[in-house]
Amino acid sequence: MSRQPDPNRRNEQSRQAIVTAAADLCAEVGFAAVTVEAIAARAGVGKQTIYRWWPSKAAVLLEYMERERERAAGFPDTGDLAADLLTQTTALQRLFDSDAGAVWRGLLIAAQSDDVAADGVRALLEQAIVEAKQRLTKAQGTDELRSDADLDMVVEIIFGPLYHAWLLRTRPLPKAYMSDVLKLVFEGLKPRDRPLIR
């Protein structure tokens, strides 16, 4: 007969303080060092207030990420697919280097063992992927993208390289990284048939 609390009576100040404190901690000391105790202490809040509203620290960080996502516009659509993809992926690359990147990295970790985090992460990814696929569908209509390509796969080809380099930390990425990646995946890795005499 466990009762869930009444959201109307919730203290909004505490809520903000908790989410902010969690994200700051994550950026400063890394996800592993974020503990409910530390969040509570930094937010000036009782531990119970965290446990009352969130099932885990990952859930708190999820709320932060969702908030960040709302601040960002959706997938851009200027009519030029190449430009739109560059805009979006460059924004993502910038996000990966920000505080939100640290939080997102932590959530991807948490999602490996915490079902709540996994669901939240899945939802965020899903949303991003759906938006991307909508833009790509339109691009197939305007003949900017191969119409025989599976869109999930296209998404993975476009975002995969960036995630690979960021998550696996194999090397630092140049600012223009995604510009080159996009050129390469759109043109293909095969040598051009005949470098046209021009």
Partner DNA sequence: GCGTAAGCGAGACGGTACGTCATGTCTTTCA
Partner DNA sequence: TGAAAGACATGACGTACCGTCTCGCTTACGC
d(CA 174, CA 118): 30
Does 115 interact with DNA (rule: CB under 7 A)? no
List binders of DNA among 22-51 (CB under 7 A).
35-38, 40, 43-49, 51
From the list a copy of itself, DNA, none, partner contacted by residue 190 (C-beta under 5 to 8 A by kind): a copy of itself
Does 10 interact with DNA (rule: CB under 7 A)? yes
Q: Are 133 and 141 in contact (CB under 8 A)?
A: no
Structure tokens at 114: 């915490």
Q: Are 53 and 31 in contact (CB under 8 A)?
A: no
From the list DNA, a copy of itself, none, partner contacted by residue 72 (C-beta under 5 to 8 A by kind): none
Q: Are 39 and 21 in contact (CB under 8 A)?
A: yes
Residue type, 85: L
Instruction: Figure out which of the listed residues 2, 4, 48, 112 binds a copy of itself, where binding follows CB under 8 A.
Output: 112
Does 162 interact with a copy of itself (rule: CB under 8 A)? yes
From the list a copy of itself, DNA, none, partner contacted by residue 180 (C-beta under 5 to 8 A by kind): a copy of itself
Torsion, Cα 113 119 123 125, to 10 degrees, reads 10
**Residues of the shown chain interacting with DNA in the complex, contacts defined by CB under 7 A:** 3, 5-6, 8-11, 14-15, 17, 35-38, 40, 43-49, 51-53, 56-57
